[in-house]
Amino acid sequence: MTMHHCLFLAAGFLPVLIIRSYEAKQAIVTYDTVRTDSPTVQGEIVVLHNTLRRGVIPPASNMLKMSWSEEAAQNANKLSKYCNLAVSNALKRRITNTFCGENKHLTTYLTTWSNVIGLWYNESKYFTHGEWPSEDDDITVDHYTQLIWATSYLIGCGVSLCCHRILPQYLYVCHYCHD
């Protein structure tokens, strides 16, 4: 096995190990442990994004470091309260001087942000740099590409309990803002 193969394998396992270390810290998930008005939760979301973004293959030469945006978080939180999984209107995701992309995840149970972000990141197995899946393919990489978009540098997330269905659901939303 060549050094290139070892590096490739190590890079593939690194995100899994990072996500699992965050999961171990948050064995019991309560609404308070996922609310993004907590600086601790904000920090974990930012650190996890930056760690995963640093590990993309091939490495990005222009990948910007993410920082928390309170304005983007307020928008994400407000949109999560609508409990609508459809992509929101771009004008609702606008912050001062820029627009933001969006990732959403709907679940019937509380889960950690690392699990949600890990699900989005796991779409990387369907992603090939320089190619885009055909519309005929039954796969998506949209969440992954949003997460690793090189020029995104601000992130804000929110989660809401949606009780207007038979079972309660939780909608996790992150906004990714770029130049």
Would the pLDDT of 148 be above 50?
yes
According to DSSP, the β-strands at 100-107 and 169-178 are: antiparallel
Half-sphere exposure in the Cβ direction for 21 (13 Å, CA): 10
Name, in order, each residue with C-beta under 8 angstroms of 78's C-beta and a sequence gap of 6 or more: 92, 158
The two structure tokens encoding residue 126: 């369907």
> What is the CATH T-level fold of the domain 3-126+138-178, as seen in this structure?
Pathogenesis-related Protein p14a (3.40.33)
Q: Each residue of 82-120: pLDDT tens digit?
A: 999 988 888 888 899 899 999 999 999 999 999 999 999
Average pLDDT over residues 152-163: 96
In sequence order, the β-bridge partners of residue 104 are 173
